Structure 1
Amino acid sequence: MYRNILVPTDGSDITAKAVQSAIALARTLGATLTAISVKEPFPYSAISEMQPVPPQEFFDAQERIASARVKTVVEAAQAAGLECAGFTVEASHPWEAVVDMAKDKGCDLIVMASHGRRGVSALLLGSETQKVLTHCQIPVLVIK
């Protein structure tokens, strides 16, 4: 059925629930996991002579945070006896990075969290999960 499951992580509690669901599903199916954490790009529009954080320091911090998130997923998968590759990617739109990673790594399922926005906030802010659902060609399992 599914052989390579992509699981995006942002380090939140709901994402941890999605990671555990992905691990359980992968164990049941004998699938491998691919983990991704999306880094924010440097806000170049904020560049002025008085920068609060130099660009390299910002990039290093983003990489450290994203790597730690991916490492948590990889270690949990390995503890469950699964193969798991982890990646960090910089992107302005996390949903695009998730869809692109699924294509690039030949994933046949995405397991991701829903952040549960409702009403006007969901309408105005949108949802990365909703955008993945809209733009992705492979199945997406949403964990609430």
Structure 2
Amino acid sequence: MSYEHILVAVDLTEECDPVIKRARELASTDETKISLVHVIEPMAMAFGGDVPMNLSQLQQQQTDQARERMRRVINKYPELIENNVHLPYGQPRQEIHELAKKQGCDLIVVGSHGRHGLALLLGSTSNDVLHGAPCDVLAVRLMKKAE
């Protein structure tokens, strides 16, 4: 089975390299389209919504950093052209699912740290994306870096 449009969800760290490389391997032909997505989460979500201060300046800095990091990824992988890159703002699962539907993607590729126990209970983006996805999902196992 070959895929026609692969959506690669990245966290814009160096850990996204194996995820992008795996998606490129799965792109069986030059006609296979690869799109990148990084979801910028509202800062209020990290604080449970109750924030006694204005986070707009911090949120803008977060957005600017995401744009710069995405530029670096594009420079590293020039075949991933600019119009296939998405930086939506919102909840990762919802934004990734919505983008996959809109773009007609038939595979979503995400990185997974394979967490267990408490880390698993706290949730992970790869686990969230899997549930309710409009297409196939591949979780690429990311190795823990030695400390």
User: TM-score normalised by the shorter chain: which range applies?
Assistant: 0.7 to 0.9
Match of 2:88, as an amino acid? V
Matched residues, number? 134
Pick which of 54-63 and 30-39 moved more: 54-63
Give the ranges of 4+ consecutive aligned residues of structure 1 lying more than 3 Å apart after TM superposition.
81-84
Point out the structure with the larger helix share. Answer: 1
Instruction: Quickly say closer, same or farther: Cα 1:47–1:73, change in 2 above 3 A.
Output: same
TM-score (normalised: structure 1): 0.79
Match of 2:94 among 93, 96, 108: 96
Structure 1 residue 38: Cα displacement: 1.0
**Consecutive unaligned residues in structure 2, runs of 5 or more:** 142-147
**Consecutive unaligned residues in structure 1, runs of 5 or more:** 49-53
Match of 1:38, as an amino acid? V
Residue 63 of structure 1 pairs with residue 68 of structure 2: no
Match of 1:139 among 117, 136, 140: 136
Residue 46 of structure 1 pairs with residue 47 of structure 2: no
Note the aligned Cα RMSD (angstroms).
2.1
Q: Percent identity?
A: 28
TM-score (normalised: structure 2): 0.78
CA contact (8 A) 1:7 1:110 kept: yes
Match of 2:74 in 1: 74
C-alpha distance after superposition, 1:48-105 (max 9, x if no partner): 4xxxxx5332232121122123323333332xx45461111111x3121111111111
Pick which of 65-74 and 110-119 moved more: 65-74
